[in-house]
Amino acid sequence: MAEPSAAERDPEAVSQFVEGFAAQLVEAGMQRMPARVFAALLASDSGAMTSAELGEQLQVSPAAVSGAVRYLAQQHMVAREREPGSRRERYRVHSNQWYEALTNRDAVLKRWELALRAGVDSLGSTTPAGRRLSETLAFFEFVEGEVAAMMERWRAHREQLFGDNA
């Protein structure tokens, strides 16, 4: 069965999905407005909307959309792009946004590892606090290696499922 076009979709059902998925993202720790904007972008056929379109769909101000997009761009979950022939920006979620968001966490893990290593050096690895920091450092180093391996497996799996241009 063919997917319904945007014109055939029930706007209430779309809104329920957006708000429901946004609520799940909020429960996982994301701020409410970025979660709503992200969910709205995911639910759009093009994966891209202008600030005005997002504001209209979510019934929020341009300032609320702007702040949410700024946060999402910092998290590598959306990208800004110019509309051809216009000065208006569109905000786009890519099909591999989860991959991008997770792999960009690598820099955060590296900074945490550096700070923990400095903490171990400062506190001494034989003290109770130093041992706790050493264990935390070992955990992050383990996670970093596992995420890298998992992402490589995901790339291969994604290519099998969706082809090279997905």
Q: Dump pLDDT digits (tens) for 6-57.
A: 557 788 999 999 999 999 999 999 999 999 999 999 999 999 999 999 999 9
Q: Dump pLDDT digits (tens) for 71-87.
A: 999 888 899 888 778 78
Cα distances from 66 to residues 54, 72, 141, in angstroms, run: 10, 10, 35
First and final C-alpha spacing in the chain:
21
Q: What local confidence, expressed as pLDDT, does residue 6 receive?
A: 56
pTM over 0.85? The answer is: no
- Cα 164 to Cα 37: distance, rounded to the nearest angstrom: 28
Q: Is the pLDDT of residue 117 over 70?
A: yes
